[in-house]
């Protein structure tokens, strides 16, 4: 059920038939021919740019082509009116019945309305969050988490086969630091007093971990050498942290499909295998890097390192995969990890990084291109910073001041729905202000409540209708006679609702879930506007106790709005609310 797609199809068919009758040249590219709703509704329901797109290719005047197309389309019974406008737009007005008939179909499709197959079941891996397993998720990760999850939902809705994945950085030195910190908590649990020196994690969230280790091991490691307890404590600490992180994510409604351990790459030869793959292509060498351009770090010195020739694949410089002491850099397991993703036969990879990781984009893309022989594309989305505000003042977090806000704190204070919606009302590549007071304000300033309220209002109407003994179950609405919709402002809403499938496809194509949020806001706005018209114009109210047929057709429209809001909120990961009091 996508009227825009139908008309687009119709336009393309007409163009093809003009080609076969030689009215148009044969070799034309229709790729950029679109059918969309014109901004100004006086220009009709839909508008196509076909004539202008093709004018140059066909070496004809736009209006000439528009005229040919018009003559082709004018016989179609679905189209009530058609005209050429401006530089060559073809403006179509569909017959009203087309719009009316859409409503029962939408109600019937319900949760499936808007679901698209443009993804063609292609396998997409979305890697996001991937926060270090050294503590709870904090606010800085939240945006990436919400964006990644919503993007995954969106792609799923658009017909992709999506895997949500979290890469656990459990291989590096920071895990030793974590294990040592846990050890301190373990000592503490055994009655010793401890001191957290620089380079350890003093967070209280490790206290229970220390206690559980005491339960498991008693005091056997209190006097022991580090070598004895470190491996055990590492593993236990990582497991505990991941449990913490998983439940943090769950509080935002996020569930990963795969948790992939960096550590699992070590000692199995998998890093070596991936690097051999690159080596075989002549992309690995021993060498020296040029000093960074511009101002030189004070302690810079030339070092011989094992390097990946990422500059051959668009990176600015080659990148080290081994440190000067022979250890892998973080980049080496990352290469192996992505090699593994490639071997798992994904068609497309998406990584969500914070803006502070922008510097790794080129090298990661280079690695994937090299490893997959340019066959698999890696897209990296950067989420910009979230600036926190409290009482209108910028709110600075610092570990030392102890006012570090965890995701859990945030969700407990403002709720999952608000957090998610607000974070999605911005393009991912623009910074976002998050004002604690504003998001909690239940006003029209707050888009979450605005959209939720529209949904709740619809529910309220349906409830009232039931009280008035009108059967408003979906089955009844599906068979409603839509002739009760008389007013153009009702048709206006229907048109907006019918844009939903097209919007899903566009948002998915651009990987921009925020478009869903904005669309829902617009839809809610139109619904509220329509609602209020019922005040002055009783005929526009939904319930007419003296006329069930009329009520049903209007209620079906309202129901279709609720369906779209529900489906849209589903993509954003926000719960619709039946009632707001």
Q: Does 85 bind RNA (CB under 7 A)?
A: yes
Q: Does 327 bind RNA (CB under 7 A)?
A: yes
Q: Does 488 bind RNA (CB under 7 A)?
A: no
**Closest CA relative to residue 262, chosen from 347, 210, 328, 351:** 328
Q: Does 385 bind RNA (CB under 7 A)?
A: yes
| Sign, Cα dihedral of 209, 215, 217, 218 | positive
Residues 92-131 vs RNA: string with x where CB under 7 A? ----------------------------------------
Residue 369: CB partners within 8 Å, gap ≥ 6? 313, 314, 378
| Size of interface with RNA, in residues (CB under 7 A) | 106
Q: Which of 87, 199, 218, 394 binds RNA (CB under 7 A)?
A: 87
Q: Which of 236, 457, 495, 559 binds RNA (CB under 7 A)?
A: 457
- HSE-up of 36 (CA within 13 Å, CB side)? 10
Tell me whether residue 102 or residue 418 sits nearer to RNA (CB atom): 418
Q: Does 52 bind RNA (CB under 7 A)?
A: yes
- Residues 190-229 binding RNA (CB under 7 A) are none
Measured CA to CA, the distance from residue 182 to residue 524 in angstroms comes to 50
Are 320 and 306 in contact by the 8 Å Cβ rule? The answer is yes
Q: Which residues pair with 89 in a beta bridge?
A: 85
Q: Among 195-203, 239-247, 252-260, 312-320, which window interacts with RNA (CB under 7 A)?
A: 312-320
Q: Does 431 bind RNA (CB under 7 A)?
A: yes
Are 480 and 104 in contact by the 8 Å Cβ rule? The answer is yes
Q: Which of 22, 59, 400, 581 binds RNA (CB under 7 A)?
A: 581
Q: Does 23 bind RNA (CB under 7 A)?
A: no
Q: Does 518 bind RNA (CB under 7 A)?
A: yes
Q: Does 53 bind RNA (CB under 7 A)?
A: yes
- Residues 342-371 binding RNA (CB under 7 A) are 355-362
**Closest CA relative to residue 133, chosen from 165, 176, 163, 195:** 176
Q: Which two tokens stand for residue 247?
A: 């439940």
Q: Which of 224, 430, 440, 549 binds RNA (CB under 7 A)?
A: 430
Q: Which of 93, 525, 566, 575 binds RNA (CB under 7 A)?
A: 525
Measured CA to CA, the distance from residue 154 to residue 570 in angstroms comes to 9
Q: Does 394 bind RNA (CB under 7 A)?
A: no
- Residues 534-553 binding RNA (CB under 7 A) are 534-535, 538, 540-543
- Residues 150-169 binding RNA (CB under 7 A) are 169
Residue 420: CB partners within 8 Å, gap ≥ 6? 146, 150, 252, 253, 572, 573, 574
Are 496 and 564 in contact by the 8 Å Cβ rule? The answer is no
Q: Cα–Cα distances in Å, from 166 out to 257, 260, 264, 453?
A: 8, 6, 14, 35
Q: Among 8-16, 139-147, 278-286, 296-304, which window interacts with RNA (CB under 7 A)?
A: 296-304
Tell me whether residue 65 or residue 189 sits nearer to RNA (CB atom): 65
Are 555 and 472 in contact by the 8 Å Cβ rule? The answer is yes
Q: Which two tokens stand for residue 288?
A: 């020296």
**Closest CA relative to residue 289, chosen from 329, 339, 338:** 329
Tell me whether residue 273 or residue 425 sits nearer to RNA (CB atom): 425
Q: Does 382 bind RNA (CB under 7 A)?
A: yes
Q: Among 69-77, 264-272, 326-334, 562-570, which window interacts with RNA (CB under 7 A)?
A: 326-334
């Amino acid at each position: 059920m996508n009227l825009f797609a139908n008309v687009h199809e119709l336009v393309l068919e007409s163009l093809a038939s003009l080609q076969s009758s030689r009215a148009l040249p044969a070799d034309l590219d229709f790729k950029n021919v679109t059918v969309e709703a014109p901004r100004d509704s006086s220009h009709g329901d839909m508008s196509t740019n076909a004539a202008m797109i093709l004018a140059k290719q066909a070496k004809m005047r736009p209006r000439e082509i528009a005229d040919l197309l018009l003559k082709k389309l004018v016989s179609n019974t679905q189209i009530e009116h058609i005209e050429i406008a401006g530089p060559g737009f073809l403006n179509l007005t569909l017959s009203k019945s087309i719009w009316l008939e859409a409503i029962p179909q939408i109600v019937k499709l319900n949760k499936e309305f808007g679901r698209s197959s443009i993804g063609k079941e292609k396998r997409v891996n979305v890697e996001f969050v991937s926060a270090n397993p050294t503590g709870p998720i904090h606010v800085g990760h939240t945006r990436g988490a919400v964006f990644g999850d919503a993007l995954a939902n969106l792609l799923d809705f658009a017909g992709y086969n999506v895997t949500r994945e979290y890469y656990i950085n459990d291989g590096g030195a920071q895990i030793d630091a974590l294990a040592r910190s846990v050890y301190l908590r373990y000592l503490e649990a055994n009655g010793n007093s401890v001191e957290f020196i620089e380079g350890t994690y003093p967070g209280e969230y490790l206290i229970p971990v220390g206690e559980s280790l005491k339960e498991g091991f008693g005091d056997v490691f209190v006097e022991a050498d580090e070598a004895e307890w470190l491996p055990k404590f590492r593993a236990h600490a990582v497991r505990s942290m991941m449990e913490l992180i998983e439940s943090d994510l769950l509080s935002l409604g996020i569930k990963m499909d795969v948790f992939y351990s960096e550590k699992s790459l070590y000692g199995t030869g998998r890093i070596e295998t991936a690097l051999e793959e690159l080596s075989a292509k002549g992309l690995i060498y021993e060498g020296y890097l040029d000093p960074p351009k511009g101002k030189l770090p004070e302690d810079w010195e030339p070092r011989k390192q094992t390097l990946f020739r990422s500059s051959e694949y668009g990176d600015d410089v080659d990148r080290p995969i081994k440190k000067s002491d022979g250890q892998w850099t973080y980049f080496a397991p990352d290469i192996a990890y992505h090699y593994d993703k490639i071997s798992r036969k994904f068609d497309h990879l998406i990584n969500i990084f914070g803006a502070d990781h922008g510097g790794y984009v080129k090298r990661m893309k280079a690695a994937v291109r090299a490893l997959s022989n340019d066959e698999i594309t890696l897209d990296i989305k950067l989420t910009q910073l979230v600036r926190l505000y409290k009482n209108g003042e910028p709110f600075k977090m610092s570990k030392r001041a102890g006012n570090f806000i965890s995701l859990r704190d945030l969700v407990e204070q403002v709720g999952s729905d608000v957090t998610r919606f607000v974070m999605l009302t911005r393009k991912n590549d623009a910074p976002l202000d998050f004002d604690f007071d504003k998001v909690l304000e239940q006003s029209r300033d707050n888009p979450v409540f605005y959209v939720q309220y529209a949904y709740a209002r619809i529910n309220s109407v349906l409830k009232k209708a039931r009280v008035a003994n009108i059967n408003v179950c979906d089955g009844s609405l599906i068979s409603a006679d839509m002739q009760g919709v008389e007013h153009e402002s009702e048709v206006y809403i229907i048109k907006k609702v019918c844009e939903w499938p097209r919007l899903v496809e566009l948002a998915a194509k651009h990987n921009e879930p925020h478009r869903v949020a904005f669309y829902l806001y617009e839809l809610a706005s139109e619904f509220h506007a329509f609602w209020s018209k019922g005040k002055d114009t009783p005929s526009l109210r939904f319930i007419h106790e003296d006329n069930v047929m009329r009520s049903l057709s209007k209620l079906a429209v309202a129901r279709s709005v609720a369906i779209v809001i529900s489906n849209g909120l589903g993509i954003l990961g926000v719960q619709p609310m039946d009632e707001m009091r």
